[in-house]
């Protein structure tokens, strides 16, 4: 609606203007925006971002851009003010595709972190020590670092990225995989589990709340010792 809708951005753009979309959408949407912008004499970049609110605040986002080199070069100063890893991936749609690859890993790591923390805590290990030790070894991941404190502290308010947002991204990953004829069995499982969490009324909660249905099945909650 914002880009393609009546009286939207593209309808009101100027010749030579660079339009940049930082949202996570499907490649078809990015290509449709680029084609519409071209008809108006404008340039378009699909330039999704990664890093969440934490990295947005301090300007250290990762930005992956798809579109013409000319559009990228014109937009680069603005992009570099927002991110420390800024790359031109290739033609229209490639920035969007790389973001979906990123989200596949994010959501998979998020579920793995929930499973691991629950398994360790229910075994009797102090969850804070599970997090500390695992996060210093090969099991470390950004999503474990992000979500373990949320699970331990039981603060699942959706003030950052919510389950339903991740579920939307997982749906886009499903579409891309089907278009390309590429198997994603792990992502299929993650998609179904996030969908279950949303159907259980957890959609507006932080992504770390994907652990809650697992806790219900286990009959155990991750909590601080003492």
Contact 121, 148 (CB under 8 A): no
Spatial distance between the Cα atoms of 54 and 65, rounded to a whole number of angstroms: 21
Spatial distance between the Cα atoms of 55 and 65, rounded to a whole number of angstroms: 18
Is 150 in a helix, a strand, or coil?
helix
Is 60 in a helix, a strand, or coil?
coil
Instruction: Mark whether 99 is an active-site residue.
Output: yes
Q: How is residue 190 annotated by DSSP?
A: H
- The residue annotated as part of the active site, out of 14, 40, 70, 99, is 99
Q: Which residues pair with residue 162 across a beta bridge?
A: 206
Give the Å distances, CA to CA, from 196 to 46, 131, 176, 191: 30, 26, 21, 9
User: Catalytic site residues?
Assistant: 99
């Amino acid at each position: 609606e914002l880009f393609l809708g009546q009286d939207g951005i593209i309808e009101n753009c100027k010749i030579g203007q660079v339009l940049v979309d930082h949202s996570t959408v499907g490649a078809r949407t990015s290509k449709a925006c680029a084609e519409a912008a071209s008809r108006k004499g404008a340039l378009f970049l699909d330039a999704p971002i990664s890093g969440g609110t934490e990295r947005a605040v301090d300007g250290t986002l990762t930005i992956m851009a798809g579109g013409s080199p000319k559009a990228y070069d014109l937009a680069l100063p603005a992009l570099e003010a927002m991110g420390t890893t800024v790359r031109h991936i290739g033609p229209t749609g490639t920035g969007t595709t790389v973001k979906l690859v990123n989200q596949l890993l994010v959501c998979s790591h998020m579920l793995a972190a929930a499973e691991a923390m629950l398994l360790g805590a229910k075994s009797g290990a102090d969850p804070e020590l599970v997090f500390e030790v695992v996060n210093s070894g090969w099991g470390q991941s950004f999503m474990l670092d992000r979500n373990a404190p949320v699970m331990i502290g039981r603060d699942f308010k959706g003030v950052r990225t919510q389950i339903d947002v991740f579920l939307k991204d997982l749906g886009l990953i499903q579409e891309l995989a089907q278009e390309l004829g590429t198997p994603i069995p792990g992502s299929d499982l993650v998609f179904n589990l996030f969908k279950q969490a949303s159907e259980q009324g957890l959609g507006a909660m932080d992504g770390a709340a994907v652990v809650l249905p697992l806790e219900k099945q286990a009959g155990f909650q991750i909590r601080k010792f003492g």
